[in-house]
Amino acid sequence: MAATPPPEPATGLEALEGLALDTVIAKAGARYAAALACASTRLRAAAGDDALWRRFCADDLGLDAPVDPEGRPLPSFKDAYKVWLESFGMYPLPLVRRVKFFWSSLKSWLSENFPEALKTLSKGVSEAQIQSAEDDLGFKLPMPTKLLYRFCNGQLPFSEDHHENVRMAPLGIIGGYVFYDHCINVHLSPLEQIVEETKEFYREFNGQGVFNMTKLIVVATSWYRPKTFLLNCSDGELYVGTINLQDGEMLPCVPKSLIRPTNNDMPQDGLLLWLEEHLRRLQNGMIKTRMLKTSRYISLFPEAPPSCTSAMTNGVKVRASAIFAPEHPESWRPEAKCMYAYSIRLSVPEACMLGGVYYSSCQLYSRHWIIRWRDRVVSDVNGEGVIGKYPLLTPGQEEFVYESCTPLPDSPGSVEGSFTFVPGKLSRPEGKPFEVTVAPFPLETPEYIF
């Protein structure tokens, strides 16, 4: 009887053992691992190890737990990877991870700092809803924008309920600013509102021929005073409308050099870049929440250098910064083409000291502003008080904050000056008046406009 031939030695991947095989499969990636599972029983076991799929989920999707896109738990990381691929496989996975990270980071910041606004975020839309919106609009949305809305459908829309709208108005996740009667607070629009407001935009302006043949969508707006952000779906650029929007005047909100809407591996359009920059400013403390009457809101006035300057004189601290406001009604005038709102914060952190003498309070009497456009002084102003007030400062109290505005014919420019304070109170001075310096702060058209 013929002897049974010995088994052929294993070759290729079959010859690898333990860690070596795991390393090869891990480096090959999830799609290759799924294919290997069909090759042999041994490779199926190796490719099915959930520790391997944990790594794929972390590397490709940023997942640290086996959950589906809704956050519901799944039996394994392999199941999780499969579900996510079924839902988002039509997009580059690096972009999926990036957009997922953005929304999770923003929600984390809101949860800690502004939970009222977190409650306004809506559940993401389906691919079918994206397709329906594109059919209504008559053109395709940029891939990064579609993915942003797959994860989160912007903020809850305004309604016909005026009282509810008043409650919602300061909760925009982009935020805004207030000076005099000019109040801006920008909300990220939900998909259905984008379609509705974009159609209204074209009905209003198309008759003038300014926006014919463009593929613009309205992605963010302010409920108080009008301020409109528009995404060009042809080239991925994001714009803000000026007061002359009806004439087609818009300004880019993001550096054009960064926009790559058709990059195969990592496309990025203006909306994604704009939102990511906004998140960075929230995280690093450049912008913070403030109170507006009884509600909190995200204030866009910079809170950190170099955009926010600071000076201390005799214990009185002055912080100052400005923001570009292209939507302001006065911006139509040539001499006021660039309108800037500025915020001044006054405080006595520890003590008011003058000539070695400690004073328990000091009160502002007058102001002096020097406003420059390029190298030319365009305004030199002296006046009593600030916005009709004479703030009394005491050590350790909260900053006295006020806002005002100034126009320029163009940018850049700057503001500097001083305040005159009286030790004690104006009604009962305890010493001679003294000057408090306001360090120069810039008036610029920024790279990112919010």
Buried b (16+ CB within 10 A) or exposed e, 178-208: bbeebbbbbbbbbbbbbbebbeebbeebeee
Higher pLDDT, 437 or 225: 437
**Which pLDDT value is given to residue 223?**
86
For position 7, what pLDDT does the model report? 46
Considering the domain 93-284 in this protein, what is its CATH number?
A: 3.40.1580.10
CA distance 213 to 73: 46
The reported pLDDT for the residue numbered 22 is 61
Helix (H, G, I), strand (E, B) or coil at 75: coil
For the segment 125-132, the average pLDDT, to the nearest whole number, is 98
Instruction: Give tens-digit pLDDT for 358-371.
Output: 999 999 999 999 99
The dihedral over CA atoms of 219, 179, 284, 118, expressed in degrees to the nearest 10, equals -50
- The overall average pLDDT reported for the chain is 91
Which pLDDT value is given to residue 10?
A: 43
Is the predicted pLDDT of residue 172 greater than 50, yes or no? yes
Per residue in 274-319, pLDDT (tens digit) is 999 999 999 999 999 999 888 999 999 999 999 999 999 999 999 9
pLDDT for position 87: 96
Neighbouring residues of 131: CB distance < 8 A, sequence distance ≥ 6: none
Q: What is the pLDDT of residue 82?
A: 94
* pLDDT tens readout for residues 10-51: 445 555 555 566 666 767 678 767 666 565 666 666 677 888
| pLDDT number for residue 72 | 96
Stretch 44-73: mean pLDDT: 90
Give pLDDT tens digits for 377-429: 999 999 999 999 999 999 999 999 999 999 999 999 999 999 999 999 999 99
- Of 331 and 340, the structure prediction assigns the larger pLDDT to 340
pLDDT of the residue at 9: 42
**Domain boundary assignment for the chain:** 13-89, 93-284, 301-443
Look at residue 236 and tell me whether its pLDDT is greater than 60. yes
* pLDDT for res 42: 61
Considering the segment(s) 301-443 as one domain, its CATH architecture is Sandwich (2.60)
pLDDT higher than threshold 90 for residue 3: no
User: Mean pLDDT throughout 219-227?
Assistant: 93
Q: How confident is the model at residue 8 (pLDDT cuts 50, 70, 90)?
A: very low
Q: Chain centroid to CA 86: how far?
A: 30
Q: SS3 breakdown of the chain: % helix, strand, coil, rounded to 5?
A: 35, 30, 35
pLDDT digits (tens, 9 = 90+) for 261-281: 888 889 999 999 999 999 999
Across the range 61-90, mean pLDDT stands at 96
> CA distances (Å), 447 to each of 229, 238, 324, in order?
15, 12, 11
List C-alpha distances in Å: 317 to 94, 287, 356, 426, 431: 46, 19, 17, 19, 19
141 phi and psi, to 5 degrees?
-90, 150
Sequence-separated (6 or more) residues with CB below 8 Å from residue 370: 377, 379, 380, 415, 416, 417
